[in-house]
Amino acid sequence: MRAATSSFSTLPTVDDVERAARRIDGVANRTPVLTSRTLDAAVGASVVAKAECFQRAGAFKFRGAFNAVAALSPSERARGVATDSSGNHAQALALAAALHDVPAAILMPEDAPAPKVAATRGYGAEVVFYDRYREDRASLGQELADQRGMAVVPPFNHWDVICGQGTAALELFDEVGHVDTLLVCVGGGGLISGCATVAAAQDLDVRVVGVEPEAGDDVKQSLERDEIVTIDTPRTIADGQQTTAPGDKTFAVMRELVESIVTVSDDEIVAALRFAFERMNVVLEPSGASALAALLAGRIDVGGQRVGVTFSGGNVGIQRFAELTAH
């Protein structure tokens, strides 16, 4: 087991994730681990799925958002919080702010799914829109925070966010013990960075593999080139994975602890949505199904293994879900 220390002057450790777990205890849901004999037979492995679609605000993002807000100093927190987000972090931060009784301002793309916008507003946050294909979300998000005098809680490139997301893996290993391979949905890399930090501390080796949509392979390119690669905003049904580059913090963790990144097509994501719904009675959003898609499509060899997979979110409207799965 890797020795653990507590310092954000270097990469976080499992100790930092355990501190995050204590902060969110009793607030975040301990989400279920799901199994399916049909899935096991289809992929030739024993699969355990961490169902973060049942997390508060509908995705794993609540873990990191609440931890980050809770970790702020009282004076910082009182000013309120701001961020930029395609939807799930927006909802998560809005809820985390509401639970701390502080204001939140969220920059969201103008084509963000309507249910995500409605939920963010429903938690009490101010929503400001931008064009994700023509404008830079990070600079606009910082500008919004500066205008409001608020603390910025980024969607992934923040140590407290990363450690909060890693609590999903803490729960998974606590419940099921060892897995040989852990498949994780990847956007900006917050979830996989947190999960890989926990996996590295296990007594037995765990192979951590990330999954991106084919059109949005910025992390795959970055790890292959050993430098951060920026791409154009990807055109994919996986709206939660339309990132253009990993952050410096998530990249630093992934280059050390993630074995590889594989990609899946939008059609393969749709097939995973159908499988989860029809065979596991679970509704996933496209970006929450990418890891399952890679498993079903045979993107990596898992024959005979015990495999963990993240069902990272389920925030999709009924009309959009019906459109995606109709064909």
| Residues 100 and 70: beta-carbon distance below 8 Å | yes
> Phi, psi (5° rounding) for residue 33?
-105, 125
Catalytic residue among 16, 50, 61, 287: 61
Active-site residue flag, 312: yes
- DSSP for 171-182 reads HHHHHH---SEE
Which of 218, 239, 266, 268 does the annotation list as catalytic?
218
Q: Which of 16, 160, 212, 217 is catalytic?
A: 212
239 labelled catalytic: no
What three-state secondary structure class fits 153? coil
Contacts of 104 (CB under 8 A, 6+ apart): 80, 81, 82, 83, 93, 94, 97, 98, 123, 124, 125, 126, 150
Q: What is the dihedral of CA 81, 84, 85, 90, to 10 degrees?
A: 20
Report whether 290 contacts 269 (CB < 8 A): yes
Annotated active-site residue in 58, 166, 187, 216: 216
Pick the catalytic residue from 16, 84, 86, 116: 86
Q: Quick check: 162 and 253 in contact, CB under 8 A?
A: yes
The residue from 308, 312, 313, 314 that is catalytic is 312
46 catalytic residue (yes or no): no
- Hey, what long-range contacts does 199-205 have (CB within 8 A, 24 or more apart)? 199/169, 199/173, 199/257, 200/2, 200/14, 200/257, 201/1, 201/2, 201/4, 201/13, 201/14, 202/1, 202/173, 202/178, 203/1, 203/178, 204/178
- 212 included as an active-site residue: yes
DSSP conformation class of 204: S
Compute the residue count for the chain.
327
- Annotation marks residue 86 as catalytic: yes
Taking CA 25 as the corner, what is the angle to CA 100 and CA 241, rounded to the nearest 5 degrees?
Answer: 75
Q: Which residues are catalytic?
A: 61, 86, 212, 216, 218, 312
